[in-house]
Chains A and B, each alone.
Chain A
Amino acid sequence: MTYLTRQEEQILMAVLDLEDKAYLVPIRKKIKEFTGKAYSLGTIYVPLNRLEKKGYLESFLGEPTSVRGGKAVKYYRLTKKGLEALEKIRILHNRIWKNYAVNLDNK
């Protein structure tokens, strides 16, 4: 099984972080917090949608509000597969970064 890309990882983490309030607008904001970069909505949506298609995320519709011009909110939530993928990538990170501090000292 393949690993998540960095972008996918960031998005899944954002969704995880936001708990039950995860939809496109706050996800974008969260990623801005993580990375300091303001991506466009489209740039976030495309991988988000792909993650949903791959089954890492599932979505449900919320209530429409007037601020949103009467359009509903599409909330995202991690599936079991998504959580597993995150866990896998965390383990991978740990494994890769394990000796980082030592290397720095040796320099």
Chain B
Amino acid sequence: MPRKSSSHIPFPARWILWVTLPEQDRDTLYGDFMEIYHNVLSENGRWRADLWLWGQILRSIPGFFRDSMYGSLDMIKNYLKTIFRVIKRNKVYSIITVFSLAVGLASCFLILLYVEDELIYDRYHENSSRIYRVYEELNIQGQRRQTALTPAPFGPVMKQEIPQVKEAVRFLPGDFGGNKIIIRQGENIFYEDKWFFSDESVFKVFSFTLIKGNPETALKDPYSVTISESKAKKIFGDRDPIGQTITLENQFFQNDFLVTGIFKDIPPNSHFTFDFLSSFASVENRLGNSLDNWFNHMYYTYLLLPKDTDPKELEKNFSSLIEKHTGDTGASILHPRLQPLTSIRLHSHLENEIEPNSDVAYVVIFLTIAAFILGIAGINFINLTTAHSVNRAKEVGMRKVVGARRSQLIQRFLGESILFSGTALIFALALTYWLLPAFNALADKNMDLSLLKTWWLPLGLILTAVLVGGLSGAYPSFYLSRFSPTRVLRENQNIRSERGNLRKFLILFQFSVSVALIVLTLGVREQLHYLQTKKLGFKKNNVMVLPLRDDSIKSQYQTLKNEMLRSNQIQNVSASSGLPGRITHHWVVDTEEWDSGIKNPSVWVMMTDHDFISTMGMEIIKGRNFSEELKSDKKEAILINESAQSLFGWRKPLGKKIKTENKEGRVVGIIKDFHFQSFKKTIEPIIIYIQPQHFSFLLVRVRGEDVQTGLQSVKQIWEKTAPGRPFEYFFLNQDFDRLFRAEQKAGKIFGGFALLTMLIALFGLYGLATFTVEQRKKEVGIRKVLGASVLGLVSMLTSEFTKIILIANLIAWPIAYYIIQKWFQNFAYRTQASFWNFILAAGLTLGLTLITVSIQAFRTAHIDPAKTLRYE
């Protein structure tokens, strides 16, 4: 005999039985099941018994179900009929309920699409979990930097000497720091910027698919290149590109490349994309020895590791490897680290990222907002349904009198709310579809509904809708089904809504969230405005930038400049290697005298001509500017900024010697600190000197009065001096504003959703106000008869809501203040959260609430008391 305890029916089956067995004979039926289960158990063992049990359950349930439906089919018909009657009779209520839920769900869907789009970055690679990127933690005299760039030998040496490293792939950007490159094919010239050189193993490690060409050999030989499908179409049209050549022109190359393959366009969900992938052998051929340099950081290195390798363990091998190849100096400076490929998009914030990444914080923030929006829409549902219960109470009472069980009533109200949320779901999907292009523009993404092809997202959406409907329907249905028929059916007895307090609390929550979001949006805007209008140390307006792409146009720079200066629309002309926001040279410099302890510090370097300072409108605070009269300036004058002066620790900086890779000179002046990087960092040291070989940009300051005419004359001069070359330009201020583009984008999305929460909350409030005011109709009538003024009545009716809104503001303020302060701390340069933001948020919510509620209040207060007070 089995032990008594073990003969009990195991948990999930027991539960299922208990739920499905018909109510009237639940106990005895359960006993019957137990008895047979027990018999089978003692004869054939547990396995057979369980098998029997589950077979029984599966076969019995349909029978039970049909039996229970037998009597209630008419009931269900009746329920549907009454639900539609409710909808018909309370159009405003139904529309508000469905619409606010639909808007809430739609914004939730958009956010979920956004989040999914972020999460699937780089996961399309078959080996995505095994690919790691090597990044570098540089330690130069106590200065720590983390950069995504690594020296060329890292990859190959790691593959050779560490057995776990299966493959190593290096990428070298073909634009060498932000300049576009020129590609020629026959007579045609194309400006492109997404050219990379990479090791031939790239197709083994990453899942980039070659449509044409052999992945084994495509990138083996020097000067071979594979092209993306769309670019191949652009360059070659309908011709077969394989075997053709294209010419690459940039800083280092002026060569023909043989097209050996066509790959499918790189999916947008990649932390970097490219249109041209050329063989690393070309770089070896061209740069030769410099590839052995362990300190020249120019390359991105990716490793393929075996499954379940611990990257932390692997990193331990690196230091001995570095020491072996570079000695002690290298080992103290170079500290390679590993990061998983799939974490790059959301978690990597290194210097020199290939493309700017996103931040996991945004994902978390947006998910939070999604939850809040759903919560607020759900609350509308609860509030409207319970408020409505006054009108429904009689129905409940009547049904109870004719014999409805409470569980049936619960079913009925739950069914109603799920019907509502189902309708809302359909509207929400339509809204999502309709809003997606706008949202894409806002979020700067390219999402479509094909993301719905994954099985879990549509399921998730439907579940969300049913859950929201079910959860927000649960409370009202339990609440409504509890009414006692004797109370609600007694004549002239209006049941006062008992849960007024809960309703108030829920409104409080809704508006606290809305106020907080508004304050946050205003704070973000304020900071962005501060950044956009901040004194930068240079004048960013009215400067046109013309990229100088190759040597032949660089050689014409002096002619261009002279021609332009002749025009009276143009104030200054200069040229430089970089721009604020686009400085790429970061070099270790050397000097003979050291007042501070730091040796060989690295600083930013910009190479310009004589007129750079005046063209940019920068300020020299000590010493002098470059001078055309002094011939020696071209050779040896150097300007440094204040931050560089303090880095070097010089009290008397003028005349001090500085030596860089391509200059040996003396400091002639100090520039007032100017912003050339993200505002999240304090201004870093930079030095400026004259060096025409490195010019990448022509800078033209147009006279302020008429930019359009200036633009026209610059264009004419360009076309005259450099015929056949496309005229390209951008404005410095727009380009510089890219630095806070991510914040701008987030700010816009944030603002959009803040508005949306507010809108949904107001919808709810309107619906609620309608009912509250309705309930007090008689009271208003009596007051009016006794001489109350319309205005007095309106203020009486609205005061209840205004109080809640005021408290909501008081709750939201400190929370919003705390969050906005946290966000501000991201920036080295930030403004103060203004007091007026809070007042504005309060004013906005209060004003909109008053308008919403007053509409109803006025209507009621204007009704002739004779109508409301008349007995039926």
Contact = CB atoms under 8 A, between A and B. Distances in A.
Contacts of B56: 40-42
B28 A41 contact: no
A74 B28 contact: yes
Contact of B33 (A41, A46, A64): A41
Given A40-B60, A43-B59, A46-B66, A69 B34 contact: yes
Interface in A25-72: 25, 40-43, 45-46, 49-50, 61, 64, 66-69, 71-72
Contacts of B62: 42
Interface in B173-203: none
Q: How large is the interface on A (under 10, 10 to 19, 20 to 34, 35 or more residues)?
A: 20 to 34
A18 interface: no
A46 B62 CA distance: 10
Interface residues of B, number: 28
Given A41-B36, A49-B25, A74-B25, A68 B31 contact: yes
A30 to B, nearest CB: 14
Given A67-B38, A72-B27, A46 B64 contact: yes
Nearest to B66: A46
B22 A49 contact: yes
B31 A72 contact: yes
B43 to A, nearest CB: 13
Contacts of A41: 29, 32-33, 36, 56, 60
A16 interface: no
B77 interface: no
Nearest to B33: A41
Nearest to B56: A40
Contacts of B84: none
A45 B31 contact: no
B28 A43 contact: no
A73 interface: yes
B29 A24 contact: yes
Contacts, number: 74
Given A41-B56, A42-B56, A43-B59, A69 B8 contact: yes
B593 interface: no
Contact of A64 (B9, B24, B25, B31): B31
A68 B8 contact: no
B740 interface: no
A72 B24 CA distance: 13
B28 A46 contact: no
B723 interface: no
Contacts of B594: none
B64 to A, nearest CB: 5
A42 B33 CA distance: 10
A25 B60 contact: no
Contacts of B22: 45, 49
Contacts of B67: 46, 49-50
Nearest to B14: A69
B91 interface: no
B728 interface: no
A68 to B, nearest CB: 4
Contact of A42 (B24, B38, B59): B59
B505 interface: no
A102 to B, nearest CB: 41
Interface in B750-772: none
B63 interface: yes
Nearest to A61: B28
A7 to B, nearest CB: 12
Contacts of B7: 67
A40 B52 CA distance: 10
A26 to B, nearest CB: 10
Interface in B4-42: 4, 7-9, 22, 24-25, 27-36, 38
Contact of A45 (B8, B25, B38): B25
A23 B32 CA distance: 9
A42 B35 contact: no
Nearest to B65: A42
B61 interface: yes
B667 to A, nearest CB: 94
A33 to B, nearest CB: 16
Contact of A43 (B33, B38, B60): B60
B577 to A, nearest CB: 84
Nearest to A40: B59
Contacts of A72: 27-28, 31
Contacts of B4: 66
Contact of A67 (B34, B61, B66): B34
Contacts of B34: 67-69, 71
A15 to B, nearest CB: 15
B27 A46 contact: no
A29 B61 CA distance: 20
A71 B30 contact: yes
B59 A71 contact: no
Interface string B357-383: 000000000000000000000000000
Nearest to A67: B38
A49 B9 CA distance: 24
A29 to B, nearest CB: 9
B28 A25 contact: no
Contacts of A25: 32, 35-36
Contacts of A67: 7, 34-35, 38
Contact of B60 (A42, A61, A66): A42
Nearest to B63: A42
Nearest to A48: B25
A46 B71 CA distance: 13
Contacts of A42: 56, 59-64
A58 to B, nearest CB: 14
B18 to A, nearest CB: 11
A14 to B, nearest CB: 14
Nearest to B60: A42
A74 B32 CA distance: 9
Contact of A69 (B30, B55, B59, B66): B30
B71 to A, nearest CB: 10
Contact of A68 (B35, B55, B60, B61): B35
A42 B29 CA distance: 9
B53 to A, nearest CB: 10
Interface in B59-95: 59-64, 66-67
Interface in B385-402: none
Nearest to B8: A69
B31 A46 contact: no
B817 to A, nearest CB: 60
Interface string B307-337: 0000000000000000000000000000000
Interface in A68-107: 68-69, 71-74
B63 A46 contact: yes
A46 B29 CA distance: 11
Contacts of A71: 27-28, 30-31, 34
Task: Pick from A42, A61, A71, A74 the residue with the most CB of B within 10 Å.
Answer: A42
A41 B28 CA distance: 12
B3 to A, nearest CB: 12
Contacts of A46: 63-64, 66-67
Nearest to B32: A24
A24 to B, nearest CB: 4
Nearest to B61: A42
Given A49-B67, A66-B4, A67-B38, A73 B31 contact: yes
A24 B64 CA distance: 15
A74 B34 CA distance: 14
A72 B27 CA distance: 7
15 contacts: A24-B32, A25-B32, A25-B36, A41-B36, A41-B56, A42-B61, A45-B22, A45-B63, A45-B64, A46-B67, A66-B4, A69-B8, A71-B27, A72-B27, A72-B28
Given A24-B32, A41-B36, A67-B7, 14 more contacts: A40-B59, A41-B56, A42-B61, A43-B60, A45-B60, A46-B64, A61-B28, A68-B38, A69-B8, A69-B31, A71-B28, A71-B34, A73-B28, A73-B31
Q: Closest 7 A-B residue pairs measured CB to CB?
A: A42-B60, A71-B31, A68-B31, A74-B28, A40-B59, A42-B63, A69-B34
